[in-house]
Amino acid sequence: MKLTQTVVVPVASPDDATTTAEAVAPYLGEVERLVFVYVVEKAGGAPDKASVEQREGYADEIFETARETIGANGSSTEIDGRVVYGTGIADAVFDLCDKIGAESVALVPRDSSRLLDLLVGGRMDAFVRDNNVPVVVLPND
């Protein structure tokens, strides 16, 4: 098993897809498959703000942005996009890793309040503490 045969990469928006794809591109040497994942966070019974079609259309835009960015860097890595649903983003990402047999997760930290993250724990905390595969945190330059 290679640590980087299949890598799952969470993305939240087209801008985030560009930033994340640019950050991951230099490290694609041995990566065979890159799976960008857009998580639709469910509110545990509350009505959704957008329809499934709207969410999937938005995700398609995100995935296309990621593919174009990776392609512009000349990579031959297989690129895939997945939409998953869950009440927690990290849990949904790691469930996808189990489902597709991914060996690792690569992500770029998003801007957030460090004080708030310290007090209540941020999303990054969920990724680095409660995981079932290695997590690579890429620099955000």
Which domains are seen in the chain, by residue range?
A: 6-137 (3.40.50.620)
- Read off the pLDDT of residues 11-63 as tens digits, 9 standing for 90 and up: 999 999 999 999 999 888 889 999 999 999 877 666 667 787 888 899 999 99
- Going from the C-alpha of 137 to that of each of 42, 66, 133, the distances in angstroms are 25, 17, 13
Q: Which residue has the higher pLDDT, 3 or 92?
A: 92
65 neighbors 21 (Cβ within 8 angstroms): yes
What residues form DSSP beta bridges with 85?
Answer: 40
Dihedral angle, C-alpha 69, 71, 73, 79, nearest 10 ° = 80
- The confidence score (pLDDT) of residue 48 equals 67
- Read off the pLDDT of residues 65-89 as tens digits, 9 standing for 90 and up: 999 999 887 788 899 999 999 888 8
- The two beta strands, 33-41 and 78-86, are parallel
- Read off the pLDDT of residues 43-52 as tens digits, 9 standing for 90 and up: 766 666 778 7
Provide the token pair at 27. 């490290």
